[in-house]
Structure 1
Amino acid sequence: MNWKKAFNIFKWVAGITIGLMLAISALILVFKDDIKSYALKEANKYLNKRVHIGYIDVGIWKSFPDMRLSFDDVLVHSKFDTTITADTAIYAKKIDLRFNPLDFFNNDFSVHRIDIDQAKLNLKILENGQVNYDFLKPSEDTTNSPFEFNLERINLRATDFTYHNESTQQFYEGYFKNLDFNGSFNEKQFVLNALTEFDVKTIQSKSLTLIENKSAKCDISIQMDQINDVFEIISADLSINKLPFLVRGKVSNDSLNFYVGSRGLELSQVANNFSIQELDVVDEINGQGKVNFELFIRGANEKTKSPAIDANFNIENGSLSEQGFSLSNINLNGSYTNGISTGKEQVVLSKLQFNTLNEAFSGNLSISDFDRPRLRGKAKGLLDLKAIHRLFGPFSLSELSGSVLLDGNFDLRMNSPKTDPQNLTIYDLRASLRLNNIITKFMNDERAVRIKDGKITIRNQFAGITDLSVSLNQSSLTLDGQFNHLADYFKGARNLSVDASVSSDFLNLDDLSSTQEETSKSKAWILPNKIDGKLMLTLNEVIYSDHQYTFIKGKMNFGKRKLTFPYVSGVSAKAKINGRLKITETRPMYLVVETSLSSPKVNFKPLFAEWNNFDQTVIKSENINGSAKIQLDFKGPFDLYEEEILKEKFDVKAKVKITDGALMNVEPFKEITQSLRASGGGLLIKKSKIDAFEARLLNLQFDSFENEFTVKNGVITIPKMTIRSNALDVNLSGTHSFDNAIDYSFDFRFREIKGTTSSEFGDVIDDGTGFRVFLKMYGTIDYPEFKWDKEAKKAVKEEKREEAKDDLKSALKTGFGINKKDTTIKEIKTTEKPKEKIIMDFGQDTIQEDFTEESKKKKKNALQRKIDAWKKENEKEKEESIFEFE
Structure 2
Amino acid sequence: MSVQNCCYFCFMNWRKAFKIFKWVAGIVVSLMLLISALLLVFKDDIKSYALEEANKYLNKRVHIGFIDVGIWKSFPDLTLSFDDVLVYSKFDSIQTSDTAIFAKKIDLRLNPLDFFGSKLDVHRIDIEQAKLNLKILKNGSVNYDFLKPSEDNTVTPFEFNLKKINLKTTDFTYQNESTEQFYSAFFNTLEFQGSFNEKQFILNAQTQFDIKSIQSKSVRLIENKKAKCDISIQMDQINDVFEIISADLTINKLPFLIKGKVSSKTLDFYIGAKNLDLADVAKNFTLEELNVVDEINGQGKVNFELFIKGSNEKTASPAINATFDVKNGSLADQGFSLSQINLEGKYSNGVIDGKEQLSLSTLEFYTLNEKFTGNLLVADFDKPRLTGKADGLLDLKAIHRLFGPFSLQELSGSIALKGDFDLRLNNPKTNQKDITIYDLRATLDLQNISAQFIDDQRKLNISNGAITIRNQYAGITDLALSLDNSSLVLDGQFNNLADYFKGAGNLSVDANVTSEALNLDDLSTTNVEEVKTKSWILPNDIDGKIILSLNKVQYSGHQYTDIKGRMDFGRRQLSFPLIEGISATSKINGNLKITEEQPMYLVVETSLSSDAVNFKPLFEEWNNFDQTVITSENIRGRAAIQLNLKGPFDIYEEKILKEEFDVSARLKITDGALINVLPFKEITKSLKASGGKLVIARSKIDEFEKRLLNLQFDSFENEFTVKNGIITIPKMTINSNALDVNLSGTHSFDNDIDYSFDFRFREIKGSESSEFGDVLDDGTGFRIFLRMFGTIDEPKFSWDKEAKKVVKEEQREQAKDDLKSALKTGFGFNKKDSTIQDLKAKDKQEEKIIMDFGKDTIQDEFSPETKKKKKNALQRKIDAWKKENEEEKSTFEIE
Per the normalisation by structure 2, the TM-score is: 0.91
How far apart are 1:11 and its partner, in Å? 8.9
Q: Secondary structure at the match of 2:687?
A: helix
- Letter of the structure 2 residue corresponding to residue 141 of structure 1: D
Could you tell me how far apart the structure 2 residues matched to 1:561 and 1:822 are? 60
Map of 1:673 onto structure 2: 684
How do 1:361-376 residues align onto structure 2 when only pairs under 5 Å count? Answer: 361-376=372-387
Cα deviations across residues 253-295 of structure 1 (Å, max 9, x unaligned)? Answer: 1111000000100111112222469444333210000000000
1:252 aligns with 2:263: yes
Q: Secondary structure at the match of 1:739?
A: coil
Could you tell me how far apart the structure 2 residues matched to 1:818 and 1:6 are? 168
Q: Secondary structure at the match of 1:704?
A: strand
| 268-277 or 715-724, larger mean C-alpha shift | 268-277
Q: Which of 720, 723, 728 lines up with 1:709 in the alignment?
A: 720
| 3-12 or 190-199, larger mean C-alpha shift | 3-12
Give the 3 Å change call, closer, same or farther, for CA 151–798 of structure 1 in structure 2: same
Map of 1:414 onto structure 2: 425
Cα deviations across residues 198-225 of structure 1 (Å, max 9, x unaligned)? Answer: 0001111111111110000000000000
Q: Which of 54, 68, 83 lines up with 2:79 in the alignment?
A: 68
Give the 3 Å change call, closer, same or farther, for CA 807–216 of structure 1 in structure 2: same
Could you tell me how far apart the structure 2 residues matched to 1:794 and 1:511 are? 58
Map of 1:608 onto structure 2: 619
Map of 1:746 onto structure 2: 757
2:448–2:462: 8 Å Cα contact kept in structure 1? yes
| Identity across matched positions, percent | 74
Cα deviations across residues 439-481 of structure 1 (Å, max 9, x unaligned)? Answer: 0011111110000000000000000000000000010000000
Q: Which of 420, 430, 442 lines up with 1:431 in the alignment?
A: 442
Cα deviations across residues 588-622 of structure 1 (Å, max 9, x unaligned)? Answer: 11100000000001000000000000000111101
- Letter of the structure 2 residue corresponding to residue 428 of structure 1: D
Map of 2:663 onto structure 1: 652
- Letter of the structure 2 residue corresponding to residue 265 of structure 1: L
Could you tell me how far apart the structure 1 residues matched to 2:725 and 2:15 are? 115
1:53 aligns with 2:64: yes
1:477 aligns with 2:492: no
Map of 2:589 onto structure 1: 578
- Letter of the structure 2 residue corresponding to residue 642 of structure 1: E
- Letter of the structure 1 residue corresponding to residue 160 of structure 2: F
How far apart are 1:491 and its partner, in Å? 1.2
Q: Which of 165, 178, 182 lines up with 1:171 in the alignment?
A: 182
Map of 1:866 onto structure 2: none
2:318–2:351: 8 Å Cα contact kept in structure 1? yes
- Letter of the structure 2 residue corresponding to residue 422 of structure 1: K
Map of 2:399 onto structure 1: 388
Cα deviations across residues 40-88 of structure 1 (Å, max 9, x unaligned)? Answer: 1111121111111111111111111111111111111111111011111
1:557–1:565: 8 Å Cα contact kept in structure 2? yes
Q: Which of 155, 170, 175 lines up with 2:166 in the alignment?
A: 155
Could you tell me how far apart the structure 2 residues matched to 1:340 and 1:492 are? 35
Cα deviations across residues 670-711 of structure 1 (Å, max 9, x unaligned)? Answer: 100000000121111111100000000111001211111111
Could you tell me how far apart the structure 2 residues matched to 1:209 and 1:170 are? 10
1:730 aligns with 2:741: yes
2:376–2:386: 8 Å Cα contact kept in structure 1? yes
Map of 1:35 onto structure 2: 46
Cα deviations across residues 614-665 of structure 1 (Å, max 9, x unaligned)? Answer: 0001111011100110000000000011111111111100000001100111
Per the normalisation by structure 1, the TM-score is: 0.92
How far apart are 1:493 and its partner, in Å? 1.3
How far apart are 1:760 and its partner, in Å? 5.1
Map of 1:856 onto structure 2: none
Map of 1:114 onto structure 2: 125
Map of 1:209 onto structure 2: 220
Map of 2:886 onto structure 1: none
1:562 aligns with 2:573: yes
How far apart are 1:517 and its partner, in Å? 1.7
Q: Which of 591, 598, 607 lines up with 1:596 in the alignment?
A: 607
Map of 1:494 onto structure 2: 505
How far apart are 1:365 and its partner, in Å? 0.5
2:637–2:672: 8 Å Cα contact kept in structure 1? yes
Cα deviations across residues 90-133 of structure 1 (Å, max 9, x unaligned)? Answer: 11111111110110232421111111110010011111111111
Give the 3 Å change call, closer, same or farther, for CA 774–265 of structure 1 in structure 2: same
1:653–1:709: 8 Å Cα contact kept in structure 2? yes
Q: Which of 195, 211, 222 lines up with 1:200 in the alignment?
A: 211
Map of 2:238 onto structure 1: 227
1:282–1:392: 8 Å Cα contact kept in structure 2? no
How far apart are 1:148 and its partner, in Å? 1.1
Q: Secondary structure at the match of 1:622?
A: coil
How do 1:842-861 residues align onto structure 2 when only pairs under 5 Å count? Answer: none
| 467-476 or 796-805, larger mean C-alpha shift | 796-805
1:337 aligns with 2:337: no
How far apart are 1:5 and its partner, in Å? 12
How far apart are 1:803 and its partner, in Å? 1.1
Could you tell me how far apart the structure 1 residues matched to 2:196 and 2:835 are? 123
Q: Secondary structure at the match of 2:633?
A: helix
Q: Secondary structure at the match of 2:825?
A: helix
2:767–2:774: 8 Å Cα contact kept in structure 1? no
Could you tell me how far apart the structure 1 residues matched to 2:198 and 2:210 are? 31
Could you tell me how far apart the structure 2 residues matched to 1:9 and 1:804 are? 154
Give the 3 Å change call, closer, same or farther, for CA 758–489 of structure 1 in structure 2: farther
- Letter of the structure 2 residue corresponding to residue 730 of structure 1: V
Cα deviations across residues 517-567 of structure 1 (Å, max 9, x unaligned)? Answer: 235321111001100000000000000001000000000000000001001
Q: Secondary structure at the match of 1:703?
A: strand
Map of 1:189 onto structure 2: 200
1:301 aligns with 2:319: no
Q: Which of 276, 282, 293 lines up with 2:293 in the alignment?
A: 282
Task: Provide structure 2 residue ranges, at least 5 long, that are not aligned to the other structure.
Answer: 1-11, 845-895
1:209–1:275: 8 Å Cα contact kept in structure 2? no
How do 1:749-760 residues align onto structure 2 when only pairs under 5 Å count? Answer: 749-756=760-767, 758-759=769-770
2:35–2:112: 8 Å Cα contact kept in structure 1? no
- Letter of the structure 1 residue corresponding to residue 41 of structure 2: V
- Letter of the structure 2 residue corresponding to residue 386 of structure 1: K
1:45–1:140: 8 Å Cα contact kept in structure 2? no
- Letter of the structure 2 residue corresponding to residue 324 of structure 1: G
2:132–2:172: 8 Å Cα contact kept in structure 1? yes
Give the 3 Å change call, closer, same or farther, for CA 187–755 of structure 1 in structure 2: same
Could you tell me how far apart the structure 2 residues matched to 1:270 and 1:86 are? 42
Two-structure CA RMSD over aligned residues (Å): 1.9
- Letter of the structure 2 residue corresponding to residue 455 of structure 1: A
Could you tell me how far apart the structure 1 residues matched to 2:842 and 2:453 are? 78
Could you tell me how far apart the structure 2 residues matched to 1:748 and 1:665 are? 20
| 475-484 or 61-70, larger mean C-alpha shift | 61-70
Task: Provide structure 1 residue ranges, at least 5 long, that are not aligned to the other structure.
Answer: 834-886
Q: Which of 526, 543, 553 lines up with 2:537 in the alignment?
A: 526
2:223–2:287: 8 Å Cα contact kept in structure 1? no
Q: In terms of Rg, which structure is larger?
A: 1
Could you tell me how far apart the structure 2 residues matched to 1:123 and 1:468 are? 57
Q: Secondary structure at the match of 1:372?
A: coil
- Letter of the structure 2 residue corresponding to residue 550 of structure 1: T
